[in-house]
Structure 1
Amino acid sequence: MTQESPSSEERRPDRAALVIAAVIAILAAVIVYSTATAHGGSATRIGPSAFPYTIAGCLFVLAIWTAFEAMRGDFPEREEQEIQPVIWVIGGLAAQMLLLHITGFAIATALLFAATARAFGKGPLWMTIPIGIVLSFIVWVIFAKGLQLSLPAGPLERLI
């Protein structure tokens, strides 16, 4: 007399993981195609094209592994996705891209910082925006003045 436990029932293939495996395999194929059709390079056997082929090979192995695990149904159950934090982060990225050349690096990046903090449930906007401005301004000074790299300057950066 055998009794089957509820956990021993047959698990179905994880369709989301199969889609992820397919996307990884397509990415590997694109890298191989792009590297194979690129002009130039060197005549040596190990040259600049060796690294993209290595990355593509690793991605292809990862795609096979992911597909195998998806067919076995070994991925854990996923939690329900909350859309509001994703919208905050995407909104912060959009604000930064749209305002970068208008307000400068410090203010635009501060808005991204504040939106991301809000997405993670940390602090109110009235507090995270000034913190983001200070941190972003410090980063701008290090990169623009210390390393002599060109970052978009706005009214705040023009004070220096």
Structure 2
Amino acid sequence: MSEVPSSHEKRRPDRAALVIAPVLFLLAGIIWWDAGRLAEMSNYSRIGPATVPHVVAIGLALLAVWTAFEAWRGDFPEREPVEIQPVVMIVAGLAGQMLLLKTAGFSIATGVLFALTAFGFGRRKLWISLPIGIGFSFVVYIIFGRFLQLSLPAGPLEHLFF
């Protein structure tokens, strides 16, 4: 049987959560301030474009208070160790997409993002996931770029067909 900590044992405050709480509160303040500028634009109704951002800001502020309270009590569960390689691969995929988007086009750049994200999640065969990602991205390009007439960056693959 596992031991249940007694009520006399005091857990330390969770420092990471104590850092996250003010960040959430700051984000709530920024959203509230920005929504206040939206409210100035429309004075004809009580419910307008600033209503939902105000609700989101209130929710974030409440979440910040709750996070700080739980962090101070030390009630957060123990976190699992973070694996660095998957995070690096996903960030590399995002960076690769941003760098390739204008030159290689939407399909190839997003295919690179797909392949590196799949690699980060454990799919080690890039020679399979890269063409699959490019294929899926090309279908997305066709749906959004051609059918819905949205502006997506075209590269050599898109120019080959359109």
TM-score for the superposition, normalised by structure 2? 0.91
Aligned mates of 2:12, 2:115 — CA distance in 1: 41
Give the match for residue 11 of structure 1: 11
Q: 1:52 to 1:158 in 2, by over 3 A?
A: same
Shift of 1:20: 1.0
Aligned mates of 1:7, 1:33 — CA distance in 2: 44
Aligned mates of 2:66, 2:30 — CA distance in 1: 19
Shift of 1:114: 0.4
- Name stretches of at least 5 consecutive residues in structure 1 with no aligned partner: none
Cα RMSD after superposing both structures: 1.4
Kindly provide the CA deviation profile for residues 37-85 of structure 1, in whole angstroms up to 9, marking residues without a partner as x: 4552233222221111111001111111111111111111011111111
Shift of 1:109: 0.3
Give the match for residue 116 of structure 1: 117
Q: What number of residue pairs does the alignment pair up?
A: 156
- Name stretches of at least 5 consecutive residues in structure 2 with no aligned partner: none
Shift of 1:151: 0.6
Residues 42, 48 of structure 1: 8 Å contact kept: no
Kindly provide the CA deviation profile for residues 75-116 of structure 1, in whole angstroms up to 9, marking residues without a partner as x: 110111111111101111011001101011110000000000
Shift of 1:6: 7.1
Q: For residue 115 of structure 2, what is the amino acid of its counterpart? A: A
Q: For residue 11 of structure 1, what is the amino acid of its counterpart? A: R
For the pair 1:74 / 2:107, whether they are aligned, the reply is no
TM-score for the superposition, normalised by structure 1? 0.92
Kindly provide the CA deviation profile for residues 101-139 of structure 1, in whole angstroms up to 9, marking residues without a partner as x: 101111000000000001000141111101101111111
Give the match for residue 59 of structure 2: 58
Aligned mates of 2:57, 2:117 — CA distance in 1: 32
Aligned mates of 2:42, 2:22 — CA distance in 1: 30
